Structure 1
Amino acid sequence: MIATPESLGVEGSVVAAVQWLKLAVEAVGACIIGLGVLIAGGQFVWALLRRQSANFNAIRLMLARYLAVALEFQLGADVLSTAIAPGWEEIVKLGAIAVIRTALNYFLSIEMKEESASEHEEKVAAQASGEG
Protein backbone atom coordinates (compact mmCIF):
# COMPACT_ATOMS: atom_id res chain seq x y z
CA MET A 1 0.00 0.00 0.00
CA ILE A 2 1.35 3.40 -0.96
CA ALA A 3 1.48 6.01 1.79
CA THR A 4 -0.36 9.29 1.31
CA PRO A 5 1.04 12.81 1.77
CA GLU A 6 -1.08 13.07 4.91
CA SER A 7 1.35 10.66 6.65
CA LEU A 8 2.86 12.23 9.73
CA GLY A 9 6.44 13.45 9.86
CA VAL A 10 9.46 13.36 7.63
CA GLU A 11 9.72 9.57 7.81
CA GLY A 12 6.22 9.22 6.39
CA SER A 13 7.10 11.56 3.53
CA VAL A 14 10.29 9.62 2.76
CA VAL A 15 8.40 6.31 2.81
CA ALA A 16 5.75 7.73 0.48
CA ALA A 17 8.39 9.09 -1.92
CA VAL A 18 10.24 5.76 -1.99
CA GLN A 19 6.98 3.87 -2.57
CA TRP A 20 6.12 6.10 -5.53
CA LEU A 21 9.66 5.80 -6.91
CA LYS A 22 9.47 2.01 -6.54
CA LEU A 23 6.16 1.98 -8.39
CA ALA A 24 7.65 4.10 -11.19
CA VAL A 25 10.71 1.83 -11.51
CA GLU A 26 8.47 -1.26 -11.63
CA ALA A 27 6.33 0.42 -14.30
CA VAL A 28 9.40 1.17 -16.41
CA GLY A 29 10.45 -2.49 -16.14
CA ALA A 30 6.97 -3.64 -17.15
CA CYS A 31 6.95 -1.24 -20.11
CA ILE A 32 10.32 -2.55 -21.27
CA ILE A 33 8.98 -6.12 -21.15
CA GLY A 34 5.87 -5.05 -23.06
CA LEU A 35 7.92 -3.23 -25.68
CA GLY A 36 10.25 -6.20 -26.11
CA VAL A 37 7.32 -8.61 -26.49
CA LEU A 38 5.65 -6.35 -29.06
CA ILE A 39 8.83 -5.97 -31.11
CA ALA A 40 9.76 -9.65 -30.87
CA GLY A 41 6.18 -10.70 -31.63
CA GLY A 42 6.11 -8.45 -34.68
CA GLN A 43 9.43 -9.78 -35.94
CA PHE A 44 8.29 -13.35 -35.27
CA VAL A 45 5.08 -12.89 -37.28
CA TRP A 46 7.03 -11.15 -40.05
CA ALA A 47 9.53 -14.03 -40.18
CA LEU A 48 6.67 -16.54 -40.31
CA LEU A 49 5.02 -14.67 -43.16
CA ARG A 50 8.31 -14.56 -45.07
CA ARG A 51 9.00 -18.21 -44.10
CA GLN A 52 12.41 -17.37 -42.65
CA SER A 53 13.06 -19.75 -39.78
CA ALA A 54 16.70 -18.65 -39.49
CA ASN A 55 15.57 -15.40 -37.84
CA PHE A 56 14.07 -17.10 -34.78
CA ASN A 57 17.35 -17.23 -32.86
CA ALA A 58 17.94 -13.54 -33.50
CA ILE A 59 14.41 -12.78 -32.30
CA ARG A 60 14.95 -14.82 -29.11
CA LEU A 61 18.24 -13.03 -28.47
CA MET A 62 16.64 -9.62 -28.96
CA LEU A 63 13.77 -10.48 -26.60
CA ALA A 64 16.26 -11.81 -24.04
CA ARG A 65 18.03 -8.44 -24.06
CA TYR A 66 14.78 -6.62 -23.30
CA LEU A 67 14.01 -9.10 -20.51
CA ALA A 68 17.48 -8.66 -19.00
CA VAL A 69 17.11 -4.87 -18.92
CA ALA A 70 13.62 -5.17 -17.44
CA LEU A 71 14.90 -7.55 -14.76
CA GLU A 72 17.48 -4.95 -13.76
CA PHE A 73 14.71 -2.38 -13.25
CA GLN A 74 12.65 -4.87 -11.25
CA LEU A 75 15.68 -5.64 -9.10
CA GLY A 76 16.16 -1.92 -8.55
CA ALA A 77 12.57 -1.69 -7.34
CA ASP A 78 13.28 -4.56 -4.94
CA VAL A 79 16.26 -2.67 -3.54
CA LEU A 80 14.04 0.36 -2.97
CA SER A 81 11.54 -1.87 -1.17
CA THR A 82 14.16 -3.03 1.29
CA ALA A 83 14.80 0.59 2.27
CA ILE A 84 11.25 0.92 3.60
CA ALA A 85 10.53 -2.70 4.60
CA PRO A 86 8.71 -2.71 7.93
CA GLY A 87 10.17 -5.94 9.32
CA TRP A 88 12.37 -8.98 8.86
CA GLU A 89 9.62 -11.05 7.25
CA GLU A 90 9.22 -8.47 4.49
CA ILE A 91 12.99 -8.15 4.06
CA VAL A 92 13.33 -11.95 3.75
CA LYS A 93 10.57 -12.05 1.09
CA LEU A 94 12.20 -9.22 -0.84
CA GLY A 95 15.59 -10.91 -0.52
CA ALA A 96 14.19 -14.15 -1.94
CA ILE A 97 12.62 -12.27 -4.85
CA ALA A 98 15.89 -10.42 -5.48
CA VAL A 99 17.85 -13.69 -5.48
CA ILE A 100 15.41 -15.25 -7.95
CA ARG A 101 15.55 -12.22 -10.25
CA THR A 102 19.33 -12.08 -10.05
CA ALA A 103 19.57 -15.79 -10.90
CA LEU A 104 17.17 -15.32 -13.82
CA ASN A 105 19.25 -12.43 -15.10
CA TYR A 106 22.47 -14.43 -14.69
CA PHE A 107 21.20 -17.43 -16.64
CA LEU A 108 19.60 -15.17 -19.24
CA SER A 109 22.95 -13.44 -19.78
CA ILE A 110 24.69 -16.82 -20.18
CA GLU A 111 22.11 -17.84 -22.76
CA MET A 112 22.52 -14.54 -24.60
CA LYS A 113 26.31 -14.98 -24.72
CA GLU A 114 25.95 -18.53 -26.04
CA GLU A 115 23.38 -17.42 -28.61
CA SER A 116 25.60 -14.53 -29.75
CA ALA A 117 28.59 -16.85 -30.07
CA SER A 118 26.49 -19.34 -32.04
CA GLU A 119 25.27 -16.59 -34.38
CA HIS A 120 28.83 -15.38 -34.88
CA GLU A 121 30.05 -18.91 -35.68
CA GLU A 122 27.22 -19.36 -38.20
CA LYS A 123 28.12 -16.06 -39.91
CA VAL A 124 31.81 -17.00 -40.06
CA ALA A 125 30.94 -20.43 -41.47
CA ALA A 126 28.63 -18.89 -44.06
CA GLN A 127 31.29 -16.40 -45.11
CA ALA A 128 33.93 -19.13 -45.32
CA SER A 129 31.74 -21.35 -47.47
CA GLY A 130 30.84 -18.40 -49.68
CA GLU A 131 34.48 -17.51 -50.26
CA GLY A 132 35.61 -21.07 -51.02
Structure 2
Amino acid sequence: MTPLAEVLPESALHDVIGLLVRLVEAAGALIIFIGAARAFVQFLRVLRAGMRGRGKVAEFNRIRLGLGRFLVLGLEFQLAGDVLRTAVAPSFAEVGQLAAIAGIRTALNYFLGREIAQERAEIEPDGQARGTSR
Protein backbone atom coordinates (compact mmCIF):
# COMPACT_ATOMS: atom_id res chain seq x y z
CA MET A 1 0.00 0.00 0.00
CA THR A 2 1.39 3.43 -0.97
CA PRO A 3 1.75 6.20 1.63
CA LEU A 4 -0.77 8.37 -0.25
CA ALA A 5 -3.35 5.57 -0.16
CA GLU A 6 -2.88 5.34 3.60
CA VAL A 7 -3.53 9.09 4.02
CA LEU A 8 -6.49 9.45 1.65
CA PRO A 9 -9.11 6.81 0.93
CA GLU A 10 -9.54 6.08 -2.77
CA SER A 11 -12.92 7.83 -2.94
CA ALA A 12 -11.44 11.05 -1.52
CA LEU A 13 -8.51 10.76 -3.91
CA HIS A 14 -10.97 10.44 -6.82
CA ASP A 15 -12.75 13.60 -5.62
CA VAL A 16 -9.50 15.58 -5.33
CA ILE A 17 -8.30 14.41 -8.73
CA GLY A 18 -11.72 15.18 -10.23
CA LEU A 19 -11.39 18.77 -9.01
CA LEU A 20 -7.83 19.01 -10.35
CA VAL A 21 -8.95 17.65 -13.72
CA ARG A 22 -11.69 20.29 -13.95
CA LEU A 23 -9.22 23.05 -13.04
CA VAL A 24 -6.61 21.93 -15.58
CA GLU A 25 -9.20 21.48 -18.34
CA ALA A 26 -10.73 24.87 -17.52
CA ALA A 27 -7.26 26.42 -17.76
CA GLY A 28 -6.82 24.81 -21.19
CA ALA A 29 -10.20 26.05 -22.37
CA LEU A 30 -9.44 29.54 -21.05
CA ILE A 31 -6.09 29.62 -22.86
CA ILE A 32 -7.77 28.63 -26.13
CA PHE A 33 -10.52 31.22 -25.60
CA ILE A 34 -8.02 33.99 -24.84
CA GLY A 35 -6.02 33.07 -27.94
CA ALA A 36 -9.13 33.06 -30.13
CA ALA A 37 -10.36 36.39 -28.72
CA ARG A 38 -6.92 37.95 -29.19
CA ALA A 39 -6.71 36.65 -32.78
CA PHE A 40 -10.19 37.99 -33.52
CA VAL A 41 -9.28 41.46 -32.25
CA GLN A 42 -6.09 41.43 -34.33
CA PHE A 43 -8.09 40.28 -37.36
CA LEU A 44 -10.52 43.17 -36.93
CA ARG A 45 -7.60 45.62 -36.70
CA VAL A 46 -6.14 44.32 -39.96
CA LEU A 47 -9.51 44.62 -41.68
CA ARG A 48 -9.98 48.14 -40.31
CA ALA A 49 -6.49 49.17 -41.42
CA GLY A 50 -7.50 48.35 -44.98
CA MET A 51 -4.19 46.68 -45.86
CA ARG A 52 -3.79 45.19 -49.30
CA GLY A 53 -1.65 42.56 -50.97
CA ARG A 54 1.37 40.99 -49.28
CA GLY A 55 1.09 43.13 -46.15
CA LYS A 56 -2.38 41.81 -45.45
CA VAL A 57 -1.34 38.20 -46.10
CA ALA A 58 1.67 38.59 -43.79
CA GLU A 59 -0.52 40.01 -41.02
CA PHE A 60 -3.05 37.20 -41.39
CA ASN A 61 -0.21 34.68 -41.18
CA ARG A 62 1.08 36.36 -38.00
CA ILE A 63 -2.42 36.17 -36.51
CA ARG A 64 -2.69 32.47 -37.41
CA LEU A 65 0.76 31.84 -35.93
CA GLY A 66 -0.23 33.48 -32.65
CA LEU A 67 -3.53 31.59 -32.52
CA GLY A 68 -1.73 28.34 -33.27
CA ARG A 69 0.54 28.87 -30.27
CA PHE A 70 -2.46 29.33 -27.99
CA LEU A 71 -4.14 26.23 -29.47
CA VAL A 72 -1.07 24.09 -28.90
CA LEU A 73 -0.74 25.27 -25.30
CA GLY A 74 -4.45 24.80 -24.62
CA LEU A 75 -4.37 21.28 -26.08
CA GLU A 76 -1.43 20.42 -23.84
CA PHE A 77 -3.49 21.43 -20.81
CA GLN A 78 -6.42 19.35 -22.07
CA LEU A 79 -4.13 16.34 -22.45
CA ALA A 80 -2.79 16.92 -18.93
CA GLY A 81 -6.37 16.80 -17.66
CA ASP A 82 -6.93 13.49 -19.45
CA VAL A 83 -3.78 12.04 -17.91
CA LEU A 84 -4.86 13.19 -14.44
CA ARG A 85 -8.29 11.62 -14.95
CA THR A 86 -6.71 8.17 -15.27
CA ALA A 87 -4.19 8.66 -12.44
CA VAL A 88 -6.11 6.64 -9.82
CA ALA A 89 -6.87 2.97 -10.49
CA PRO A 90 -7.83 3.32 -14.15
CA SER A 91 -9.86 0.62 -15.82
CA PHE A 92 -8.75 -0.94 -19.09
CA ALA A 93 -11.45 1.06 -20.89
CA GLU A 94 -10.19 4.33 -19.35
CA VAL A 95 -6.61 3.54 -20.40
CA GLY A 96 -7.80 2.77 -23.93
CA GLN A 97 -9.81 5.98 -24.04
CA LEU A 98 -6.79 7.94 -22.80
CA ALA A 99 -4.61 6.34 -25.47
CA ALA A 100 -7.10 7.33 -28.19
CA ILE A 101 -7.48 10.87 -26.86
CA ALA A 102 -3.73 11.26 -26.38
CA GLY A 103 -3.11 9.99 -29.90
CA ILE A 104 -5.59 12.42 -31.44
CA ARG A 105 -4.36 15.39 -29.42
CA THR A 106 -0.71 14.50 -30.07
CA ALA A 107 -1.43 14.35 -33.81
CA LEU A 108 -3.20 17.72 -33.61
CA ASN A 109 -0.26 19.21 -31.71
CA TYR A 110 2.20 17.74 -34.20
CA PHE A 111 0.44 19.17 -37.23
CA LEU A 112 -0.21 22.51 -35.52
CA GLY A 113 3.46 22.65 -34.56
CA ARG A 114 4.49 21.90 -38.14
CA GLU A 115 2.18 24.57 -39.47
CA ILE A 116 3.47 27.08 -36.93
CA ALA A 117 7.06 26.33 -37.94
CA GLN A 118 6.16 26.66 -41.61
CA GLU A 119 4.33 29.95 -41.03
CA ARG A 120 7.24 31.25 -38.96
CA ALA A 121 9.67 30.33 -41.73
CA GLU A 122 7.56 32.23 -44.26
CA ILE A 123 7.19 35.29 -42.04
CA GLU A 124 10.72 35.31 -40.63
CA PRO A 125 13.02 33.86 -43.30
CA ASP A 126 16.14 34.51 -41.21
CA GLY A 127 14.72 32.46 -38.31
CA GLN A 128 14.74 35.40 -35.91
CA ALA A 129 11.59 36.64 -34.20
CA ARG A 130 10.93 40.23 -35.25
CA GLY A 131 8.46 41.97 -33.02
CA THR A 132 6.42 38.89 -32.16
CA SER A 133 5.51 38.25 -28.55
CA ARG A 134 6.08 34.85 -27.03
For the criterion TM > 0.5, the same-fold answer is yes
Match of 1:38 in 2: 37
Amino acid at match of 2:98: L
Query: In structure 2, what is the Cα distance between the partners aligned to 1:102 and 1:11?
Result: 30
Q: Which runs of 4+ in 1 moved over 3 A?
A: none
Q: CA deviation at 1:123?
A: 9.7
Aligned residues: 116
Q: CA deviation at 1:68?
A: 0.6
TM-score by length of 2: 0.80
Query: In structure 2, what is the Cα distance between the partners aligned to 1:78 and 1:70?
Result: 13
Query: In structure 1, what is the Cα distance between the partners aligned to 2:46 and 2:89?
Result: 46
Q: CA deviation at 1:89?
A: 1.3
Answer whether contact 1:85 1:91 (CA < 8 A) is retained: no
Larger helix percent: 1
Find the partner of 2:97 among 93, 111, 121.
93
Structure of larger gyration radius: 1
Which ranges in structure 1 are unaligned for 5 or more consecutive residues?
1-8, 125-132
Query: In structure 2, what is the Cα distance between the partners aligned to 1:93 and 1:40?
Result: 32
RMSD: 1.9
What are the equivalent positions in structure 2 for 1:1-132 lying under 5 Å apart? Answer: 10-52=9-51, 53=56, 54-84=58-88, 86-121=90-125
Sequence identity (%): 45
Larger RCO (alpha carbons 8 Å, 6+ apart): 2
Which ranges in structure 2 are unaligned for 5 or more consecutive residues?
1-7, 129-134
Provide Cα deviations, 1:48-72, integer angstroms capped at 9, x if missing partner. 1112323100000000000010011
